Amino acid sequence: MSEYRVLEGNLSLTDAKVGIVVARFNGFVVESLLHGSLDALRRSGLPESNVTVARVPGAFELPLVLQRMAASGEYDGLIALGAVIRGATTHYESVANECNKGIANVMLQHSIPVVNAVLTTENIEQAIERAGTKAGNKGAEAGLVLVEMVNLVRQL
């Protein structure tokens, strides 16, 4: 039998407050991510009334709202949902980079789990694949990551 102590979050959560920040840009993809996250949280035992959903225009705006929600001290964990799709726009790189950097900063500054489910893809097909078709639903995965991380952080 192992002697070491194991810290590991389980996948059941009934008493946490969770915030989900959702970008409207590429909404046909991002709404499927939101459905996935809500479904995963519900099936982990979290009442829907414990979840707050905030909407922002695009992925670039996600970090500010995540930061304000984290600073409020009201949330045990946050999820960021968006889709940055390269397509024809050169704006892609800076939106994707700033968004990812900002999300990581919020998590470390406020010391709560902030799950990054902002898709960054080359084209729309890849984004659709990750939003509930061939490659699963990254929003649902984010819900489970949130549950595990909230439970783990409670043990630290």
Catalytic residues: 91
With binding defined as CB under 6 A, does residue 123 bind ligand INI?
A: no
C-alpha count within 13 angstroms, C-beta hemisphere, residue 102:
20
Q: Which position among 58, 105, 129, 141 is part of the footprint of ligand INI (CB under 6 A)?
A: 58
Which C-beta is closer to ligand INI: that of 16 or that of 118? Answer: 118
Residue identified by tokens 């050169």 is 90
Give the Cα separation of 153 and 23 in Å (integer): 26
State whether residue 83 is helix, strand or coil. strand
Q: Which position among 92, 126, 129, 153 is part of the footprint of ligand INI (CB under 6 A)?
A: 92
Report helix angle 27-43 to 138-153, nearest 10: 40
State the number of binding residues for ligand INI (CB under 6 A).
16
Give the Cα separation of 46 and 15 in Å (integer): 7
User: At its nearest, how many Å lie between ligand INI and the CB of residue 71?
Assistant: 21
What x/- string results for residues 7 through 36 when contact with ligand INI is judged by CB under 6 A? Answer: ----------------x-xx----------
User: What φ, ψ does residue 85 adopt, rounded to 5°?
Assistant: -115, 125
Instruction: Please list, in sequence order, all residues whose beta carbon lies within 8 angstroms of the beta carbon of residue 62, skipping any fewer than 6 positions away.
Output: 21, 23, 56, 80, 82, 99, 102, 103, 118
Which C-beta is closer to ligand INI: that of 13 or that of 81? Answer: 81
Which C-beta is closer to ligand INI: that of 41 or that of 56? Answer: 56
Which C-beta is closer to ligand INI: that of 37 or that of 151? Answer: 37
- Give the footprint of ligand INI on this chain (CB under 6 A): 23, 25-26, 57-61, 82-85, 89, 91-92, 95
